[in-house]
Structure 1
Amino acid sequence: MQLLLGIDMGTGSTKGVLVDTSGAVLASETIPHSMDLPRPGWAEVDAEAVWWHEVCAISRALMAQMPSGSVLGAMCVSGVGPCLVLCDEDLRPLRPAILYGVDTRATAEIDSLTAEFGEQNIMDQAGTLLSSQAVGPKLEWVRRHEPEVFERARGWYGSNSYIAAKLTGEYVMDHHTASQCDPMYVTRDFDWNHQWAHRLCGHLPLPRLVWPSEVVGTVSAVAAEATGVPAGTPLAAGAVDAYSEAFSVGVRSPGDRMLMYGSTMFLVQVIDEYYSDPALWVTAGVDRGTLALAAGTSTAGSLIGWLQTVTGGASFDELMAEAQQVPPGSEGLLVLPYLAGERTPVFDPRARGVVAGLTLRHGRGHLFRAAYEGISFGIRQILERFDDAHVDARTVAVGGGLRSPIWAQAVSDITGRSQLVPEQAIGASYGDALLAGIGAGLVPPETDWARIAREITPDPGNRRLYDELYEVWRELYPATRDQVHRLTAMDPS
């Protein structure tokens, strides 16, 4: 029996699954971790001590659970992204990995590169304006602020391409991740923007571009000893974790959309032709030659976790019970969930959280419901931009946030859209296993393991209230932006 190994390095944990070629999960492992926040606006991970160590540990644990008579046919690893890992010639990371859009340190570099290349030129070439999500400004930040690190570097990687290099020795990057390395990739052409990429990378070579299901090499003898994975096992390239998760639930055709409830909210929608919007990201997709629109918030589940901590650390069930006693609309309480700045569609790293309408009669349950509703208003704002792509969409909802009895229903009620919930919502590692199987030729390329279990539909009785509250919510950010920016500038750190 041929088995497939999928591993995903997420924001809060690394997860792995052992799957057969029918999609049945035989074993799974999870190791929790956290990102480092050494300074305001910084978000980092020790790539070797966390990502590589956990990939090795999960691989060994899953290989020990291989049924008798089975063989590992292929593996694939995805991870958070886009990130920046700078390594020396021996693949030793020279500094902690700089994470995706939650790391906002490169604000000055975003401004200077936009001035250098031209905003309209960047839109024409990359299809997306520079933001904290882009890798190009992160490279520029290291060049400016840590020149000794930049000069010692011999290669630059995303989370999954770093692991691919550790496993196989190959220097590659999947097209999807590369398409988020703005402004260094021409999404319309599925190729590097060589002039701009060489300007930003300097002496660093550009990785070889591959598609996420493409086998990039085989596990080396050294990596086999570290991971327990047999030497010679084919490795598929993988992608950013949100895209692997979308792939795992059948989001592959134009109009398919994934809404991921996690530490942040992330949306991926496959489109039928090239389309760009300065408030969204246009990217290469997972399947060869495909395109997608994407969007992401800076906080979501992380905001709920923060509230849980600062309000006394009550159990999740207790807090949800309190929030369920609060009627829709939270009795006039609104939250801007920008505690870590915001990504799409406002792209403002200096944005901060705002609570409006607070009175003495509001309690903890009101805050929790209002936080869920604030996140959901942000999703409505994003979906209205997606609508401009003129692709009819079905929404598949995934992620740990679905266990909240409030959150997903609030999204449907506020957006007026139904959501399909899959039977197997294992996550990106499941999509990685499928990518491995496709890449190694063990399953047909069109294989879809997803099965829909239920549908979340909007409650029409809440529509009028939420429409009115949404108009107020949309006005809050522009009305408070200047004052919030002044407060942000006062932060002594």
Structure 2
Amino acid sequence: MDLLVGMDMGTASSKGVLVTPDGVVLATEQIDHQISMPRPGWAEVDAEKMWWSEVCSISKRLVAQVPRSANVAGVCVSGVGPALVLCDSELRPLRPAILYGIDSRASAEVASLTELFGEKAILDCGGKLLSSQAVGPKIEWVRIHEPEIFAAATRWYGSNSYIAAKLTGEYIQDHHTASQCDPLYSVRDFSWKSDWLDRVLGHLECPRLVWPSDVVGLVHADASEQTGLPVGTPVVAGTVDAFSEGFSVGARHPGDLMLMYGSTMFLVQILEKFQSNPALWTTAGVQKDTLALAAGTSTAGSLIEWLHKLTGDVPFEQLLAEAAAVPAGAEGLLILPYFAGERTPVFDPKARGVVAGLSLRHGRGHLFRATYEGIAFGIRQILEMFGDTDEPVRRTIAVGGGVKSRVWTQAISDITGHTQLVPTQTIGASYGDALLAAIGTGLVAPDTDWTTLSHEVVPNAANRAMYEDLYQTWLTLYPSTREQIHALAQFG
């Protein structure tokens, strides 16, 4: 019997699954972790001590559960992204990996590269403007602020391509991740933008491009010893975790929208043809020669967890019950969830959280409900931008650990007006990685979909008018407080 291993390195944990070619999960493993935020606006990870170490540990645990009559036919790893891992010629990371849009250190480099290449040209080539999400400005930041590290580096990786290199020795970048490495990649042509690439990379070698389901190499002896994976196991490229998660639940056809409830919220809509919106991200898709439209917030589950920690030893289930007991609308309490700056749609690293309408009659449950609703208002704002395109959303699939919160999912549906389809299997990106491994190794057909649906979350019409009024007020919070918040942001 052939089995597949899928692993994902997320913001809050690394996860792994052992799966049969028909999608049956035989084993799961998870290791929780925390990213490092050593300075305001910075978000980092030790790629070797965290990502590689956790992949090795999870892999060994999964391989130990493979029946004697079975074998591991393929492995695929995804991770947070886009990220920047700078390595020397021995594949040693020279500094902590710089994470995706929650790391906003390169704001000056975003501005300088935009001025150099031109805003319109960047949007036309890459399908999005430069922001804290882009990798190019992060490379530029290291070149300017850490010149010795930049000079010593020979290659640059994303999270999944770093692991692929550790497993196989191959130097690759998958097309989707590359399409988030602005301004280095042309989404229109599915290729590197050679002249801009040379300017930003300098002496750094450029990786070869592959699609997420491509086999990129075989597990070598040293990696086998560390991971437990058999020597010669095919390694499939993988991609950014949010896109692998969307793939895991069948978001593959034009009009399909994945709504991921995680440490941040992430949205991916599959497109039929190229189009761009300055407030959104057009990217390469997971499947060959496909396109997607994406957006992401800077907080979501991370904000909920922060609030949970503030409450002390109260069980999370009790907090959810308290939030559920509060009427929809949190009795006039509104929260702007920009507690770590914001990505879509304001792209403002200096944005901060705002609590509006707080009174002595509000309690802990009100704060929790208002936080869920504040995140939901942000999702509505993004979905309205998706709706401005000429390719409408046809179905919305909800994924991620946050779908377990009925308060949260119901708030999203009530506030956005979207019915959400909730899959039976919500393991997430690692499940999508296993499917990519199955497709890449030829065990299943490319159009194989393991998705089954658990239930739907339908908007409650009784809350529509009330949420409409609150949304219009919520929309004024950021522009009304931006000047004051920016002044405060300098203090930390």
TM-score normalised by the chain length of structure 1: 0.99
Task: Give the aligned partner of residue 116 of structure 1.
Answer: 116
1:389 match: secondary structure:
coil
Q: Aligned to 2:341, what secondary structure does the other structure show? A: coil
Q: The residue matched to 2:446 in structure 1 has which SS?
A: coil
Matches of residues 221-240 of structure 1 in structure 2 within 5 Å?
Answer: 221-240=221-240
Q: Deviations for 1:431-490, whole angstroms, at most 9, x for unmatched residues?
A: 001101111111111100000111000000000000111111111111111111111123
CA shift digits 1:319-367 (9 cap, x unpaired): 1121122111111111000000000011001100001111111111111
The equivalent residue for 1:384 is 384
Q: Which residue is equivalent to 1:467?
A: 468
- 1:180 equivalenced with 2:180 (yes/no): yes
Structure 2: distance between partners of 1:34 and 1:342: 20
The residue that corresponds to 2:324 in the other structure is 324
1:245 pairs with 2:245 = yes
Deviates more, 1:305-314 or 1:448-457: 305-314
Cα distance change of structure 1 residues 313 and 122 upon mapping to structure 2, 3 Å threshold: farther
Q: How many residues align?
A: 491
1:296-307 equivalence runs, <5 A: 296-307=296-307
CA distance in 2, matches of 1:74, 1:361: 56
In the alignment, which residue of structure 2 is the partner of 1:288?
A: 288
- 3-state SS of 2:270 partner: strand
Say whether residues 1:487 and 2:475 are aligned partners.
Answer: no
Q: Which amino acid aligns with 1:430?
A: Y
Partner of 2:374: 374
**Residues of 1 paired with 2:16 and 2:304: CA distance?**
26
Alignment of 1:123-272 (within 5 A): 123-272=123-272
TM-superposed deviation, 1:311: 3.1
1:10 corresponds to 2:5: no
Output the amino acid matched with 2:237: A
Supply the distance in 2 between the matched residues of 1:304 and 1:169 (Cα, whole angstroms): 39
Instruction: List aligned pairs for 1:66-77, cutoff 5 A.
Output: 66-77=66-77
Deviation for aligned residue 1:391: 2.4
Matched, 1:455 2:462: no
Task: Please give the alpha-carbon distance, in whole angstroms, between the structure 2 residues aligned to 1:89 and 1:462.
Answer: 59
Q: CA deviation at 1:254?
A: 0.6
Structure 2 counterparts to residues 280-429 of structure 1, below 5 A: 280-392=280-392, 393-429=394-430
Amino acid of the structure 2 residue aligned with 1:449: W
Q: Name the Cα RMSD after superposition.
A: 0.8
For structure 2, the 5+ residue unaligned runs are: none
Q: Distance in 1 between matches of 2:75 and 2:402?
A: 28
Q: Aligned partner of 2:106: which letter?
A: A
Within 1, Cα distance between the matches of 2:446 and 2:321? 45
CA shift for structure 1 position 58:
1.0
Return the alpha-carbon distance in structure 1 between the equivalents of residues 316 and 261 of structure 2: 16
Secondary structure of the 1:396 match is strand
CA distance, structure 1, for counterparts of residue 254 and residue 415 of structure 2: 24
Local SS of the residue matching 1:189: coil
One-letter identity of the residue aligned with 1:69 = S
Q: Deviations over 1:244-299 (max 9, x none)?
A: 11000001111111101111001111011101001011000000000000111000
| Paired residue secondary structure (1:76) | strand
Is 2:287 the partner of 1:277? no
**DSSP-derived class of the 2:331 partner:** coil
Matching residue's letter, 1:23: G
Matched position secondary structure for 1:454: strand
SS class of match (1:230): coil
- Following superposition, the deviation at residue 389 of structure 1 comes to 2.1
Q: What CA distance in whole angstroms lies between the structure 1 residues aligned with 2:234 and 2:460?
A: 48
Measure the CA separation in 1 of the matches of 2:359 and 2:63: 56
Task: Give, as a single letter, the amino acid of the residue that structure 1 aligns with 2:241.
Answer: D
Q: Name the aligned partner's letter for residue 479 of structure 1.
A: S
Q: Distance in 2 between matches of 1:432 and 1:198?
A: 32
Q: Summarize the alignment of residues 70-109 of structure 1 with structure 2, pairs less than 5 Å apart.
A: 70-109=70-109
Q: Distance in 2 between matches of 1:483 and 1:296?
A: 24
For 2:17 and 2:435, the matched residues in 1 are separated by 11
Superposition deviation, residue 27 in structure 1 = 1.1
- What code does the residue aligned with 1:239 have? T
User: What are the equivalent positions in structure 2 for 1:436-451 lying under 5 Å apart?
Assistant: 436-451=437-452
Counterpart of 1:271 in structure 2: which amino acid?
L
Deviation at 1:117, TM superposition (A): 1.2
Alignment deviations for residues 373-426 of structure 1 (CA, whole Å, 9 cap, x no partner):
000000000000111223232001011111213100000000011000001111
Q: Which amino acid aligns with 1:128?
A: K
- Secondary structure of the residue aligned to 1:406 is helix
- Aligned mates of 1:301, 1:52 — CA distance in 2: 24
